[in-house]
Every structure is written in structure tokens, then in C-alpha cells.
């Protein structure tokens, strides 16, 4: 049962092959059995999940079930959940219980789905290996000595190990696509503004976007149907009709124009990874797609621009964690300044502090023009690169990450090398575009992800392109031996 | 040396929206602490601001009233600093693209002349909460009811050169925001307060002196005091060979002094940057035109009209238009009684006197405009004299009914019956032969004595004109 997709499980529930309660219990059992090792969950909400499952079973019995009714999911611990702890992977929020549901959570609840728990993540979503979590690292189910990627490492690992059928994540610079690639599953980051950010704890507001971890593109489409839409509580969510994302999946790819940016296949890309990605593209050619060489000339500026903009926004977004109203407060503060300094000093981890400092510096008087404004200009250039590319091609493809999962501890003392593991994903966030990572093979016995980037609001096409690949290949069906 | 004062004001006026600028929580004053603060106001993790369109509407109205540039695209920025009553660790405000750009305001000075004061800009922002230091031994309480209340910050050019001008500007602005209905202007509740930038320079010098910023002054009287004290302090300092330090100072009304809060060196670097949670606000010309068409008559226009329509003195027209409520009240009285001058005298005189004495405002006056109009009508149709009218007014103020009811129940109707008056006059003349002799000897002043006595005997009900004539005739 644990290897079934959402689509298969939904069909089973509908037919009465099993109940949501049985399904939920069986996945909870797997979490109990395997997660002490993987550490993909921060909170397992067993009672809550079983209660939701029973309600779902009633709905199914009454015939008012929707596509996701009764399906268990794991939610990244960045989404506020009413009454259930929301930590954002930080000591700062280890005691925080939100009094409200994020819109994403609300939408899943409305759909009648079941929340098994909240997944582990890099602290405040800052990291690419899940090693900055206050709750400890997450093991990659393919090789427990390697990292699952980050920041949504827990969400990726639990789906890879089939502890849940699917999960949510957030992607600010690659935090869905990179762990999806490193864990051998399908990850989708929608267009900025497609999914409401309300209740999703902000890292970098102009880049953050919620998305999915699934086994298949079809499952991602089913989840996006529930997640997407305008939300009056989020002024940056976009008032645009939500199509049925499953409707286009079966369209053939004859004549599809795939752009291959030369900048994504150059220096820094692991040769074995490159080979696997090239094979995947060859597969697309077989399906009738046309490949076009393109250039995104400002690609090399995306990492530096990102590491000004994202920290600048985070330095402001994280100011609210001050020990005054909620979250961690230091013991016996002697005055206000001491309260601030020690609460924040003790409550935040090193990577978070590093980014707050970088951001505060970039915004400070005398440096603003040289850093923040300049980065915004670069952001516009990067956006324009994509705009021009999409005049020529339908989708852009390349590797999701320059290499496969790396060893735990390998990069944790070298922030720049860690930052470079998002080199192919960051530009997409700066331009607000949708992107996916689809499993496309293995290098050194570790999964490789193919990145597919689409134009704004072209999720239907992305999902169609990924789904068609998954009809002719079975990389997405591969499971780590230990969790079969 | 002769010194010249330079003053610029930053006025913070609380907008009269029902809900907060970025959340649905209520803005009403005086609720129990933290009962009007929702998740957004508390700055909980994950919450996002949603702009209240009413705040934009009010900002545009203000710009139109000043005939200022309107920010067709305005944007919000974050001003970052830590303070316990600032829940998000930043204030959302407008830095580069304010809702209102350059404009000006004409103020009237005591000598009757006018002066144009430049308005640099006006921008929307959210208010912070309040720190409560009493009732929490050794600790501080935080009340976030006020957090997120919309403010319009109106920044003037440094165009004022005395405390009196600053007060005139502040009063005019206060009147204006209430005229156009964007603020209740309640200064006790902090809905209208200002910061004053004050500097002095030797007369004739072009460059500005170093300024001090006086923070958070919430009454017209305090503004005048605070500026005068600060000017004196700066002059004393400079004349003693010292120099003014650029700093923020606080006016202490109890001690009647200003004292330093923080110097420029200690000032925060606010690290302003565009708020990524809010999109720039674009407004259409149609929207602006519609607001313009529906703008109420503004004080200056109203004043000119009063002078012309009701033949009022400019000074009286100014007083009557100093608040929209008073102007509207006056206009009802004037129209109903058909005598603008009398109406103006009564509103400025008797009514204002009572309002001041009872410390209440015209909106809660127990004597309505309709009641006052009827009273004036009764003076004009000789039912009562002006003197009796004051008595009737007092009774109306006490809630004893309208003019007719009071005149009736108290028997105050003027005696117009010649026979009855004649009887009184004859009686008084007979009783005062000495005064009759004096009058006949040419002492005109004695006439007043007779009128007074007769009036007294009639209990004030005789018609003074009629009485005067009759006494004069009889004494001839």
C-alpha cells in the first residue's frame, strides 16, 4: 500500500478497498518504524490524523468526497497549524502553537485530507542540506550518510521512504526542487503568487512559494488543484483562474520546444549528473520534442543577487522573533536590550544569524544602493533573460542540482559551497517562474533530478511534460531498498 | 544679535477608518488592552498585511483638499527597528512613493495677513502599540490595540518662523482633516499630534541652524510652549558660545521644559526597503475625479461665501468656518432665521461662550441650530428683546424646551400694548420728580435711568424701542 500514488490511493478509497483510517494507520506505522532513523518529522500528529481520517471515511461513505479526501499528507513545519506546534525548524519556535491555520493547511482540511504530521526542515528554510534544523539533520533514504537536500529535507525524505504518499514544501531558492532531486522524487514549485503565502512563515517574501513533493507529476497536479488560488489574505497572491491541472497531463509532446541553457551545462556540473540529464533529454526527443540551445546570460549573477535579496528580506521578516510576544525568551533578562540580544542570540542558529547579518548590512545606510538596489536590477536582468527565452521555447530543461546528494557535514562549514548547490534553481525564484524536478536516473547510485522550468502560470504544461516522461520511464517508481 | 526661528512640522493624524490599515481589527479608542489586536496586529509568524482601501481614499481626499500632487502610484516600505510595542520589528510606511506629494496650506496670522506654508508630502503608515509602565511592577505591559491604526503623516516645509505660525498651521490642518472627514482630530486620544523641527539662525543668514526635533506634542497650547521654550534654549546656548546638537527632544508639559531623548549618533539606521508583502498601489484618474467631485466645500471657499452671502466680517467668517460643524450649524441658523449677522453674533457670542464654559463641542450642544434660529426669529419679530433672549437661551441650554415654550411658560413675551406700557411709564415718572427735573435741565443720561426703571417694572418685557420713545415724549 505504501508505494501507491495519491491517484491510486484515491481510487482505492473510492472503491472501498480500504478506509482512510486503515490507510492513515498504515502510514503512521511506517513513520513509527522508520522515522526514528530518518528524522523527517518534527511532529507526528497521530490523534489529529486519525480523527481527520474518520471524518474523511464518513464523507466517503456519504459520497461527498473530493479527490484528496482521506489521503494522508505531511506538511512542512513552516505552515502554521491551528493547535499543533509549528517550529520552522528553530529553537525560537520550539514552544510555538499557532492559533490559526495557514491557507495551504486550510485548503487541505477543506479537501478532507489527513495531516500525519509536520516535517523537518532547515531552520527558517535557510539551508540546502537540512543540517541547520534545531531538530537535527535528516537522512537521505537512498544513503543514510548523505543529506536529503534542503530546506524541505524532511518533506522530501519522508516521501522518498514512502512514509507518506506526498508532502508539501516551500521553495525560496530551490528548497523543493533540490531535495526532490537528491531524494529521487517529483517536486513542484509553482509560479510566485499561485499559492497563498498566508500562514507560511516568511523567509524571503518576494521569493517564497509553496509546492509539492510526490511520486508522480499526476499527484502533483492533484495537490496543486487544492493548493492554488487567489487568497484575499495574501496581497501577492494572484487573482487568476485555477485550471484543472490534471486535464492536460495526457497531451503528447510532439513539437514541444525545449530550451537548453548553455549556462546550466557548463563548469561546476558533475559529469555523471550531466550524462543522466542528457539521457533524459534524449528521451524527450524520442517523444517528438525539439531541442533548442539557448542562453540565459545573466545566470552567473543569480546566486550573488539572491544572497543579497533573500537575506535582506529575512533580516526584516525575522525581526518579529524578539522574545516579547511568543517563541523563545532568554532566562532572566536584565533589561530590554538583554532580552533582545539573548533571546535572538540563543534562539537562532548560526546560518539564520549569518543571513540576518548579511541582510541588515545590505540594507544599511550607505550600502543600500550598492547591494540591495543593484541586486534588484540584476533580478530584472535575470527575469528578462527568461522572458526572451520563452519567446523561443515552451520549457527550459537542465539539471536540478550540480551533483547528487552529498555527505552530511561535507559543506556545513563552507556556506559558499553550500549556496552553490542551488545554482540552477535560484534564478527561477528571482524571476517568479514555476519549476519542477523529476527523477531521471542515478549517478553513483544516487538519484538525479531533471529540472523543468516553465513560463509564468504554465504549471499545466510543466505537469504535462513531466507526466509524459513518467509514462515512458520508471525512474520515479524507484524506491530505496531499505524502505521497500 | 537678532535671531530668526525656522520651524517645520510633521503632523500625525489618525485616519477615521473603521478597521486598521492592514488588518480587519477595529480601531475604536478605549477598548480593554489587546482586545482589538488580531493575528496580523500581533505580528504572529506567517501573517500578511492587506491594505485597507479606505486609507488610500482618505489620503487622496487630503491631497485634493490641499490641491497637492496625488501619488497615482504609491508604495509601502518597511522602517526597521526594535521596540516592544512594534510587533513586527518594523513599521510599514511610505518612503519613496507617498500617497500625497507637494502642496501648500494658507494660514492666517494674528495681524490679519496670510502666509503660504509648503507641504512637502503626506504619507500613510501604521501606528505602533503602547507600552504601559504603570501597574506592572518592574515590568512593562504591551497593549497592541493601537498597533496598525492608520496614520497620515503630513510633513511641512520649514516655512514657519514663530510658534504662533506653527500653531496657526496646526489649527488649520486640524480643521481641514475634520472638514473632509478623514480624522476625528481628537487630540486627547492622540488622533492628532505633531513633531516640531525647530532651529534658529542669525537674522538674514541663509543656511539653516542645527535643528532639534520635538516629539509627540498633542495640544495647540503645548506646541506653542514647547517651540518657544526650545527657541529660547537654543538662543541662550548659541549666545553663550555653545552649539545646538542635532537630536530628538521631548517636551515635558509638567516641568515646562524640553529634554534630550537621543542624539543623531544614537539614532537608528532604519534600513528602509520596499515591503515585499504589499504591491504598489495604483489609482486611476477616475477614482481621483470622483473623490474630487464629492469633496465637501473647503474652509477657505466657505469663508469667502459667508462673507459674501451673509455680509459677515472676514474675522467672523473665519471663526465660523474654523470647524465644519460650527460652519454647518451657523448656516442652518442663518438660513432659518434669515439674518446672517444676528446668527453670527449668537453663534460666536452666546453659544461659543456656553460651549467653552461647559467644555463641550457644538455637535453635543443642547441648543440645536433649529432652536437658536427660532430664538433669533423671536427677537426679530419683537416677541422678545435681545436681553430676554439671553434668558431664553440659558433655559434652552438647560433643556427646558424650545424658545416658544420657554417664552410662554415663563411669561416673557414683550408687552406691546401701549396702554400697559404707558401706565408703567407714568408711574415711574411720578415717583421720580428729581430725575425729571434733571432731564429737563438737559441731562440726557437720565433717560437711561427711566428706561431701566420701566424695564425693571415690566420685568423686562417692555419693548425697549417703544419704551424709549414714550419716555422721551412724556418728559418733553
**What is the residue extent of each domain of chain A?**
6-256+392-483
- 3-32 in B: which are within 8 Å (CB) of A? none
Q: Is B187 touching A (CB cutoff 8 A)? A: no
Average pLDDT of span A17-21: 98
Residues of each domain in chain B carrying CATH 1.10.10.410: 418-475
Query: How would you classify the pairing of strands A72-76 and A166-171?
Result: parallel
Could you tell me the pLDDT band of residue A281, with boundaries at 50, 70 and 90?
very high
Cβ of B89 within 8 Å of Cβ of A322? The answer is yes
Q: How many CB atoms lie within 10 A of CB B410?
A: 14
The residue among B295, B293, B297 whose CA lies nearest residue B305 is B297
How far apart (Å, rounded) are the C-alpha atoms in residues B66 and B180? 11
Predicted pLDDT at B453: 87
Q: Is B194 touching A (CB cutoff 8 A)? A: no
Predicted pLDDT at A357: 97
Q: How far is the CA of A480 from the CAs of A32, A184, A276, B455, in angstroms? A: 18, 9, 18, 114
- Strand locations in B64-143 (E): 73-74, 77-80, 90-93, 103-108, 114-126, 130-132, 141-143
User: Which residues of chain B carry a pLDDT beneath 70?
Assistant: 265
**CB contacts, 8 Å: B84 with chain A:** 322, 324, 336
Could you tell me the pLDDT band of residue A365, with boundaries at 50, 70 and 90?
very high
Q: A350: distance to nearest CA of chain B, Å?
A: 20
Specify whether the CB–CB gap between B347 and B356 falls below 8 A.
no
CB within 8 A of B23, min separation 6: which ones? B38, B40, B41, B49, B50, B148
Q: Is B304 touching A (CB cutoff 8 A)? A: no
Q: B203: distance to nearest CA of chain A, Å?
A: 34
- Show the cell assigned to B325: 460643524
Substitution target in B22, B39, B48, B52 with the highest count of A β-carbons within 10 Å is B48
Average pLDDT, chain A: 97
- Out of A198, A204, A315, closest to residue B46 by CB: A198
B154 by Cβ neighbours in 10 Å (0-12 / 13-18 / 19+) ranks as buried
Helix-, strand-, coil-residue percentages of chain B, each rounded to 5 = 40, 20, 40
Q: Looking at the predicted structure, is the pLDDT value of residue A388 above 90?
A: yes
Q: Catalytic residue at A484?
A: no
Predicted pLDDT at B447: 85
Q: Is the dihedral of CA A77, A79, A83, A89 positive or negative?
A: positive
Cβ of B50 within 8 Å of Cβ of A232? The answer is yes
Length of chain B: 476
- 63-102 in A: which are within 8 Å (CB) of B? 79-80, 86, 88, 93, 96, 98-100, 102
Element (H, E) at B409: helix B403-410
Q: Is B50 touching A (CB cutoff 8 A)? A: yes
Specify whether the CB–CB gap between A276 and A443 falls below 8 A.
yes
Q: Is B87 touching A (CB cutoff 8 A)? A: yes
Q: How many CB atoms lie within 10 A of CB B35?
A: 11
Q: Is B272 touching A (CB cutoff 8 A)? A: yes
Q: Which residue has the cell 461513505?
A: A61
- CATH 2.160.10.10 for domain B418-475, yes or no, is no
How far apart (Å, rounded) are the C-alpha atoms in residues B317 and B108? 12
How far apart (Å, rounded) are the C-alpha atoms in residues A52 and A45? 11
Q: Which residue has the cell 510599514?
A: B92
Could you tell me the pLDDT band of residue A442, with boundaries at 50, 70 and 90?
very high
Specify whether the CB–CB gap between B105 and B120 falls below 8 A.
no
Q: Is B49 touching A (CB cutoff 8 A)? A: yes
Q: Which residue has the cell 456519504?
A: A62
Cβ of A80 within 8 Å of Cβ of B46? The answer is yes
Angle, in degrees to the nearest 10, between helices A20-38 and A46-62 = 150
Predicted pLDDT at B420: 82
Predicted pLDDT at B375: 95
Predicted pLDDT at B35: 95
Predicted pLDDT at B94: 98
Predicted pLDDT at B419: 81
Q: B396: distance to nearest CA of chain A, Å?
A: 53
How far apart (Å, rounded) are the C-alpha atoms in residues B290 and A264? 53
Specify whether the CB–CB gap between A38 and A161 falls below 8 A.
yes
The residue among A193, A191, A184, A215 whose CA lies nearest residue A400 is A184
Cβ of B44 within 8 Å of Cβ of A100? The answer is yes
Q: Catalytic residue at A175?
A: yes
What DSSP assignment string belongs to B349-403?
IIIHHHHHHHT--GGG-SS-HHHHHHHHHHHHTTSS-HHHHHHHHHHHHTT---H
ipTM: 0.96
Helix-, strand-, coil-residue percentages of chain A, each rounded to 5 = 45, 15, 40
**CB contacts, 8 Å: B42 with chain A:** 325
Q: How many CB atoms lie within 10 A of CB B419?
A: 7
CB within 8 A of A315, min separation 6: which ones? A355, A356, A357, A358, A359, A360, A362, A363, B80, B271
Average pLDDT, chain B: 93
Q: How far is the CA of A272 from the CAs of A146, A178, A399, A441, in angstroms? A: 17, 17, 11, 10
Predicted pLDDT at B415: 77
Q: What is the pLDDT of residues A393-411, one digit of tens each?
A: 999 999 999 999 999 999 9
How far apart (Å, rounded) are the C-alpha atoms in residues B179 and B186? 13
- 274-303 in B: which are within 8 Å (CB) of A? 276-279
State the fold for domain A6-256+392-483. Amidase signature (AS) enzymes (3.90.1300)
Amino acid at each position: 500500500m505504501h508505494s501507491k500514488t495519491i491517484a491510486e490511493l484515491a481510487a482505492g478509497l473510492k472503491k472501498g478497498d480500504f478506509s482512510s483510517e486503515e490507510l492513515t494507520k498504515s502510514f503512521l506505522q511506517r513513520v513509527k518504524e522508520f522515522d526514528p532513523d530518518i528524522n523527517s518529522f518534527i511532529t507526528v500528529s497521530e490523534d489529529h490524523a486519525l480523527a481527520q481520517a474518520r471524518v474523511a471515511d464518513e464523507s466517503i461513505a456519504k459520497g461527498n468526497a473530493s479527490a484528496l479526501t482521506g489521503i494522508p499528507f505531511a506538511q512542512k513545519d513552516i505552515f502554521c497549524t491551528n493547535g499543533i506546534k509549528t517550529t520552522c525548524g528553530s529553537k525560537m519556535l520550539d514552544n510555538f502553537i499557532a492559533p490559526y491555520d495557514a491557507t495551504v493547511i486550510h485548503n487541505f482540511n477543506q479537501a478532507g485530507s489527513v495531516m500525519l504530521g509536520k516535517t523537518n526542515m532547515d531552520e527558517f528554510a535557510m539551508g540546502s542540506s537540512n543540517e541547520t534544523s534545531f531538530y537535527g539533520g535528516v537522512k537521505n533514504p537512498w544513503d543514510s550518510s548523505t543529506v536529503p537536500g534542503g530546506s524541505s529535507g524532511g518533506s522530501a525524505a519522508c516521501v522518498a521512504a514512502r512514509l507518506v504518499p506526498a508532502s508539501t514544501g516551500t521553495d525560496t531558492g530551490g528548497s523543493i526542487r533540490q531535495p526532490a532531486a537528491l531524494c529521487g522524487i517529483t517536486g513542484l514549485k509553482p509560479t510566485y503568487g499561485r499559492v497563498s503565502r498566508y500562514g507560511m512563515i516568511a523567509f524571503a517574501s518576494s521569493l517564497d512559494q509553496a509546492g509539492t513533493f510526490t511520486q508522480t507529476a499526476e499527484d502533483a497536479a492533484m495537490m496543486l488543484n487544492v493548493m492554488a488560488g487567489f487568497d484575499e489574505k495574501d496581497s501577492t497572491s494572484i487573482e487568476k483562474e485555477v485550471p484543472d491541472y490534471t486535464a492536460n497531463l495526457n497531451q503528447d509532446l510532439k513539437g514541444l520546444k525545449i530550451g537548453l541553457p548553455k549556462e546550466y551545462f557548463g563548469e561546476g556540473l558533475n559529469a555523471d549528473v550531466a550524462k543522466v540529464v542528457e539521457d533524459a533529454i534524449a528521451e524527450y526527443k524520442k517523444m517528438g520534442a525539439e531541442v533548442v540551445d539557448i542562453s540565459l546570460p545573466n545566470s552567473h549573477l543569480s546566486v550573488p543577487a539572491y544572497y543579497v535579496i533573500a537575506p535582506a528580506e529575512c533580516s526584516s521578516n525575522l525581526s518579529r522573533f524578539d522574545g516579547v510576544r511568543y517563541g523563545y525568551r532568554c532566562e532572566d533578562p536584565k533589561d530590554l536590550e538583554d532580552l533582545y540580544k539573548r533571546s535572538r542570540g540563543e534562539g537562532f542558529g548560526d546560518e539564520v544569524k549569518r543571513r540576518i547579518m548579511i541582510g541588515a548590512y545590505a540594507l544599511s545606510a550607505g550600502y543600500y544602493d550598492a547591494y540591495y538596489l543593484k541586486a534588484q536590477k540584476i533580478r530584472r536582468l535575470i527575469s528578462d533573460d527568461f522572458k526572451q527565452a520563452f519567446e523561443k521555447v515552451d520549457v527550459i530543461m537542465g539539471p536540478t542540482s550540480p551533483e547528487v546528494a552529498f555527505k552530511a557535514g561535507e559543506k556545513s562549514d563552507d556556506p559558499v559551497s553550500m549556496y552553490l548547490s542551488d545554482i540552477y534553481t535560484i534564478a527561477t525564484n528571482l524571476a517568479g517562474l514555476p519549476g519542477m524536478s523529476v527523477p531521471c536516473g542515478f549517478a553513483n547510485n544516487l538519484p538525479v533530478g531533471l529540472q523543468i522550468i516553465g513560463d509564468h502560470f504554465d504549471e499545466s504544461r510543466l505537469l504535462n511534460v513531466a507526466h509524459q516522461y513518467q509514462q515512458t520511464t520508471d525512474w520515479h517508481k524507484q524506491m530505496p531498498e531499505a524502505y521497500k | 544679535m537678532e535671531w530668526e526661528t525656522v520651524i517645520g512640522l510633521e503632523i500625525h493624524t489618525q485616519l477615521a477608518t473603521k478597521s486598521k490599515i492592514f488588518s480587519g481589527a477595529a480601531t475604536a479608542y478605549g477598548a480593554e488592552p489587546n482586545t482589538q489586536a488580531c493575528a496580523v496586529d500581533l505580528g504572529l509568524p506567517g501573517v500578511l498585511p492587506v491594505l485597507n482601501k479606505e486609507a488610500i481614499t482618505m489620503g487622496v481626499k487630503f491631497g485634493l483638499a490641499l490641491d497637492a500632487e496625488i501619488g497615482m502610484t504609491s508604495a509601502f516600505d518597511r522602517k526597521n527597528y526594535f521596540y516592544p510595542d512594534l510587533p513586527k520589528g518594523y513599521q510599514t510606511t511610505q518612503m519613496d512613493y507617498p500617497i500625497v506629494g507637494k502642496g501648500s496650506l494658507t494660514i492666517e496670522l494674528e495681524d490679519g495677513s496670510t502666509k503660504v506654508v509648503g507641504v512637502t508630502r503626506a504619507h500613510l503608515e501604521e501606528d505602533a502599540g503602547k507600552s504601559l509602565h504603570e501597574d506592572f511592577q518592574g515590568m512593562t505591559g504591551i497593549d497592541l490595540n493601537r498597533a496598525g491604526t492608520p496614520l497620515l503623516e503630513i510633513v511641512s516645509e520649514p516655512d514657519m518662523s514663530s510658534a504662533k505660525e506653527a500653531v496657526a498651521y496646526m489649527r488649520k490642518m486640524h480643521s481641514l482633516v475634520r472638514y473632509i472627514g478623514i480624522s476625528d482630530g481628537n487630540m486627547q486620544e492622540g488622533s492628532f499630534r505633531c513633531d516640531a523641527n525647530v532651529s534658529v539662525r542669525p537674522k538674514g543668514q541663509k543656511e539653516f541652524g542645527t535643528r532639534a526635533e520635538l516629539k509627540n506634542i498633542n495640544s495647540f497650547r503645548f506646541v506653542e510652549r514647547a517651540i518657544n521654550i526650545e527657541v529660547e534654549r537654543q538662543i541662550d546656548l548659541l549666545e553663550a558660545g555653545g552649539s545646538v546638537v542635532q537630536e530628538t527632544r521631548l517636551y515635558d508639559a509638567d516641568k515646562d521644559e524640553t529634554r534630550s531623548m537621543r542624539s543623531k549618533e544614537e539614532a537608528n539606521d532604519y534600513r528602509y526597503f520596499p515591503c515585499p508583502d504589499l504591491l504598489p498601489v495604483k489609482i486611476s484618474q477616475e477614482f481621483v475625479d470622483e473623490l474630487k467631485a464629492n469633496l465637501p466645500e473647503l474652509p477657505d471657499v466657505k469663508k469667502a461665501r459667508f462673507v459674501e452671502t451673509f455680509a459677515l466680517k472676514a474675522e467672523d467668517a473665519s471663526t465660523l468656518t474654523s470647524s465644519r460643524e460650527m460652519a454647518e450649524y451657523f448656516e442652518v441658523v442663518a438660513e432659518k432665521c434669515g439674518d446672517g449677522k444676528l446668527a453670527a453674533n449668537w453663534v460666536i457670542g452666546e453659544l461659543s461662550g456656553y460651549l467653552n464654559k461647559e467644555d463641550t463641542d457644538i455637535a453635543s450642544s443642547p441648543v440645536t441650530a433649529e432652536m437658536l434660529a427660532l430664538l433669533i426669529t423671536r427677537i426679530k419679530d419683537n416677541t422678545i428683546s435681545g436681553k430676554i433672549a439671553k434668558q431664553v437661551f440659558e433655559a434652552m441650554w438647560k433643556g427646558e424646551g424650545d424658545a416658544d415654550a420657554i417664552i410662554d411658560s415663563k411669561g416673557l413675551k414683550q408687552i406691546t400694548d401701549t396702554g400697559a406700557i404707558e401706565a408703567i411709564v407714568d408711574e415711574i415718572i411720578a415717583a421720580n420728580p428729581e430725575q425729571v427735573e434733571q432731564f429737563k435741565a438737559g441731562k440726557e443720561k437720565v433717560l437711561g435711568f427711566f428706561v431701566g426703571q420701566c424695564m425693571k417694572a415690566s420685568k423686562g418685557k417692555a419693548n425697549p424701542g417703544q419704551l424709549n420713545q414714550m419716555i422721551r415724549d412724556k418728559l418733553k
